[in-house]
Structure 1
Amino acid sequence: MAARNADEEPARMRDRPATEARILEAAQAILIAAGPGGFGVNAVAREAGVDKQLIYRYYGGLDGLLEALGVRLAQWWQEKLMAGLPQTPVENYGELIELLALQLLHIVRSEPLALQSLLWELTGSESFVKSLSASRARAYGAWMAGVRGGLEPPEDVDAPAINALLIAAISQIALAGRQADTIIGLPTNDPATWDRLEKSLLRLVRGVYARP
C-alpha cells in the first residue's frame, strides 16, 4: 500500500525545488496575512498543501525554514532596491545614499511585504527577528557592493552610524504612517506630508555628505 501511495503522489510533490518554492511562498503569504503569531510548521504545511514532514526533511524544522525564508526575503529586498537605480552612475557617496534613502522610503510605503517585515522585526520571536534583520542587512550590503564602486564618504563622517540612523528613521516613519493619523503633527493621509518628508530627508543626507 505504501509503495502504491508513493507512486500516486503528485509529480509536484516529488520535485524538490518546486516543492521548496511552494513552501517558501506559503511561508511568505502567512507572514503577510498573519504575522509572526500565525507562523508555524503546521500552518505553512497547510498553506503549501504539503505534509509537514517535508518541512522537517528539507529545512530541519522551523529555524531552518526561517533561515531559508530570510534568504528569499534578502533577494526580494535587493531586487526592490535595484529597481530604483538611475540610468547613469552617481557621482559621489552622498548621491548614493540619497538613492538608497528615497528608494527605501518608496518600498516601505508601497510594498505590504516590506512594511510587514518591519513589524515582524519588532514583534517576532528572537530567532524570527534575527532572520528578518539579517535578510535586510544582506540586501543593503549587496546593494551597496553592487552600486558603490569606489565612492567613499567624507573622512570625518561615520557613514555606518549615519546610514543606520537614516534607515531606522525611514522605517519608523513608515510604521507610524500606517498606525496613526499623524506623524508628530503631520497628517499621514496627506500626500503633501510625504513630499515634505522626502525633501527633508534629502536635505539631511546632503547636509551630512556635502562635498567640500
Structure 2
Amino acid sequence: MTERNPGEDTGRSRDRRATEARILEAAQAILLAAGPGGFGVNVVAREAGVDKQLIYRYFGGLDGLLEALGIRLAQWWQEKLLETLPEQPATSYADLIERLALRLLHIMRTEPLAQQSLLWELTGSENFARSLSASRTRMLGDWMARMRGNLVPPAGIDASAVNALLIAASSQIVLAGRNTDTVIGLPAHVPSTWDRIERSLVQLVRSIYREV
C-alpha cells in the first residue's frame, strides 16, 4: 500500500484555493467589463486560464459560481464599509444610520464595482440577482451587528423598511446619474447636486429617527 504524504493533501488544498480565487477574479472581471449578458462557464474558464470542468468540480456549475461570486462581492462591500470608521461610536440610532447611509452613497458613487453589482441585481439572472441581494443583506446585517451596540430605533418606527427605502433611493439616484444629465430634475454631474443629496439624506434620517 502506498503511503500518502500529508504534505500532498495540504498542497492540493492550497492549489484548489488558489484556482478558486483565480476563477472568481476572472468572473468578477467579466461581469465588470461585460455585465451578466457576457457571462458563462466557457468565458470564465478562458479568462481564468483553466479547464471549464474545474468550475463544475469546485462550484457545481454556473449557479454555484454565481453564488460564490455573490459572497465575494458582499465581502468586498463589507471591506469598503469598514475602510473609514469614525473615531467615536454612534451616539444614537439616527447617528448610526446617518453614517451608514452616507458611507454607502459614497461607495456607490465612487466605485464602479459597486455600481455594476447594483445593476446586476436588477438585470442579472434570477439566481444571480437572488444571490447578490442575499449577500448584500448579510453584509449590511453584519455591519449593523458590529456597529450598533445597544442602539435601537425609536418606538413605532419600522426601521427595516425605512432603511431599505433610504438605500434603494440612493442606489437609484446613483445609477440614474450614470447615463443622464439630470436625475429627476437635478443636474447629475454637478458636485453641488451631490452635496444637496447628502444634506437631504441626513435630514431625512434625523427627521425619521428623531428621539421623542
1:160 is matched with: 160
- Structure 1, gaps ≥5 residues long: 1-10
In structure 2, distance between residues paired with 1:164 and 1:179: 24
- Structure 2, gaps ≥5 residues long: 1-10
- Say which SS state the counterpart of residue 15 (structure 1) adopts: helix
In structure 1, distance between residues paired with 2:138 and 2:108: 17
In structure 1, distance between residues paired with 2:132 and 2:35: 12
Letter in 2 for 1:122: L
In structure 2, distance between residues paired with 1:170 and 1:55: 35
**Deviation digits for residues 115-172 of structure 1 (CA, Å, limit 9, x no counterpart):** 0011111111100111111121111011001101110000111101100100100100
1:56 is matched with: 56
**Deviation digits for residues 4-55 of structure 1 (CA, Å, limit 9, x no counterpart):** xxxxxxx99x811111110000010011001000111111101101000000
Once the 2 structures are TM-superposed, how far is the Cα of residue 60 of structure 1 from its aligned partner? 0.7
Matched, 1:211 2:211: yes
2:130 is matched with: 130
- Equivalences for 1:1-212 in 2 at 5 Å? 15-212=15-212
Contact 2:94 2:153 in 1 (8 A): yes
Contact 2:70 2:128 in 1 (8 A): no
Once the 2 structures are TM-superposed, how far is the Cα of residue 84 of structure 1 from its aligned partner? 3.0
In structure 2, distance between residues paired with 1:138 and 1:68: 14
Contact 1:30 1:44 in 2 (8 A): yes
Identity across matched positions, percent: 73
In structure 2, distance between residues paired with 1:173 and 1:84: 23
In structure 2, distance between residues paired with 1:43 and 1:187: 38
Paired residues, number: 202
Once the 2 structures are TM-superposed, how far is the Cα of residue 71 of structure 1 from its aligned partner? 1.1
